[in-house]
Amino acid sequence: MLVLGLESSCDDCSAAVVEETPAGPILRSLVRESQDAIHGPFGGVVPELAAREHLLQVRSVMAGALAQAGVGLTDLDRIAVTRGPGLVGSLLATFSASKAVAWRQGLPWVGVHHLLGHLNAARFAAPDLPFPALVLLVSGGHTHLYLAPDWTTLELLQKTRDDAAGEAFDKTARMLNLGYPGGPVVDACANTAVKAAEPFTPPKFRDGKASWSFSGLKTGVKLRIERDPRLAQGGAGDPAVQGLCRSLQEAISSWLLKPLPGWAEARGARSLVISGGVACNSRLRSEAALLAAREGLVLAIPEPRLCTDNGAMIAAAGALLTPDPNPWRQNADADLKLV
């Protein structure tokens, strides 16, 4: 089965052709148009600009994905698109395009929850993953831990109380004038550090409920810059900036992983999936490998281009879902819930 997957929930416009086989999904093509140059000067995504840019990008990413896979619209068996959650103006670009293609070609159409997409990104490298799986979804908008009994179901275990982990990277990079998006630059800068700066203090939760908090990191970085204003001007070559990035990255990665062994034991998890943009982080990837080995969990972290938002993960999830009998009644949903 050949599936065209489309994704435009935030600032990446992406399309991919995926071949679903009995042995799992095969990536036939993946195209993504970045909008970093547009949002970079603002230090974050501007929803209105993202939506308008998607409208300009959607046709070329679809055409590019088909050409790269060496197939035409008539070869497709299904079209899958992100239904939500996300920025509604952004979502509507590929949502409308997917309906137009489905109508023109008489193709089965399926709307996919964005987070089910991130989970299914792990299916390319680990189609035989043992379940139940702990699923850590970490991006610019999400820091959520789920238990998955299979590839199409997510049960929430815990989530951040405030900022997402990706926001902590992006906001730190902004305060240090390192550029946008923050994750990749902080990661690179941390890896050049000779030594980490003073560690960040982990948050304490008095109510004893399982959760994370990352907004304190923002204040922590701000206070360090107030104490030493040169940090904001030093750039990626400054050893003090590198040390700060290293301790920030170490804090985020260790805080994210800390609750996992307890949950794995409590819920009998056999594997661990980490996906979403922050799953590209080098420190998180290496620490997760050590943790999985220690806990006897099979680890599945997609390759970096499949961790960030992409059409391939939507196609892979869409291949497992039942097509909608009446796509024309469906709409994008900025707050789409998992069922």
Site residues (CB under 5 A) for Zn ion?
139, 309
| Contact between 139 and ligand KG4 per CB under 6 A | yes
CB closer to ligand KG4 out of 108 and 184 = 184
**Is the link from the previous residue into 132 a cis peptide, with omega within 30 of 0?**
yes
Q: Give the one entry of Zn ion, ligand KG4, none that residue 170 binds, where binding means its C-beta sits below a cut-off of 5 to 8 angstroms depending on kind.
A: ligand KG4
CB closer to ligand KG4 out of 107 and 313 = 313
* Span of 24-32, 125-133, 231-239, 278-286 interacting with ligand KG4 by CB under 6 A: 278-286
- Exactly one of 109, 234, 308, 313 binds ligand KG4 (CB under 6 A); that residue is 308
Distance CA 186, CA 197 (A): 14
Distance CA 235, CA 316 (A): 40
Return the exposure string of 170-204: e unless at least 16 CB atoms fall within 10 Å of the residue's CB, then b: bbbbbbbebbbbbbbbbbebbeebeebbeebeeee
* Residues found in the chain: 339
| Contact between 276 and ligand KG4 per CB under 6 A | yes
- Exactly one of 140, 234, 302, 327 binds ligand KG4 (CB under 6 A); that residue is 140
Distance CA 44, CA 170 (A): 8
Torsion of CA 271, 272, 273, 274, to 10 degrees: -170
Q: Give the one entry of ligand KG4, Zn ion, none that residue 111 binds, where binding means its C-beta sits below a cut-off of 5 to 8 angstroms depending on kind.
A: none
CB closer to ligand KG4 out of 81 and 278 = 278
Q: Find out whether 2 and 77 touch, Cβ atoms under 8 Å.
A: yes
How far the first Cα of the chain sits from its last, in Å, is 25
Starting at the edge strand found earlier in the chain, the sheet holding 153-159 runs 153-159, 143-150, 133-138, 271-275, 298-300
CB closer to ligand KG4 out of 10 and 260 = 10
CB closer to ligand KG4 out of 64 and 181 = 181
DSSP E strands in the chain: the ranges are 2-7, 12-21, 24-34, 78-84, 109-113, 133-138, 143-150, 153-159, 271-275, 298-300
DSSP E strands in 229-334: the ranges are 271-275, 298-300
**Residue linked to tokens 């497992």:** 320
Contact letters for ligand KG4, residues 221-260 (x by CB under 6 A) = ----------------------------------------
- Exactly one of 166, 220, 243, 318 binds ligand KG4 (CB under 6 A); that residue is 166
Q: Give the one entry of Zn ion, ligand KG4, none that residue 184 binds, where binding means its C-beta sits below a cut-off of 5 to 8 angstroms depending on kind.
A: ligand KG4
CB closer to ligand KG4 out of 86 and 220 = 86
The nearest distance, CB 197 to ligand KG4, in angstroms, is 18
Among 70, 91, 80, CA closest to 9:
91
* Span of 59-67, 104-112, 271-279, 311-319 interacting with ligand KG4 by CB under 6 A: 271-279
Neighbours of 154 (CB within 10 A): 23
| Contact between 278 and ligand KG4 per CB under 6 A | yes
CB closer to Zn ion out of 108 and 182 = 182
- Exactly one of 4, 145, 309, 327 binds ligand KG4 (CB under 6 A); that residue is 309
- Exactly one of 84, 85, 183, 318 binds ligand KG4 (CB under 6 A); that residue is 183
Among 6, 299, 251, CA closest to 136:
299
Interaction site with ligand KG4 (CB under 6 A): 10, 139-141, 166, 169-170, 181-184, 187, 276-278, 280-281, 308-309
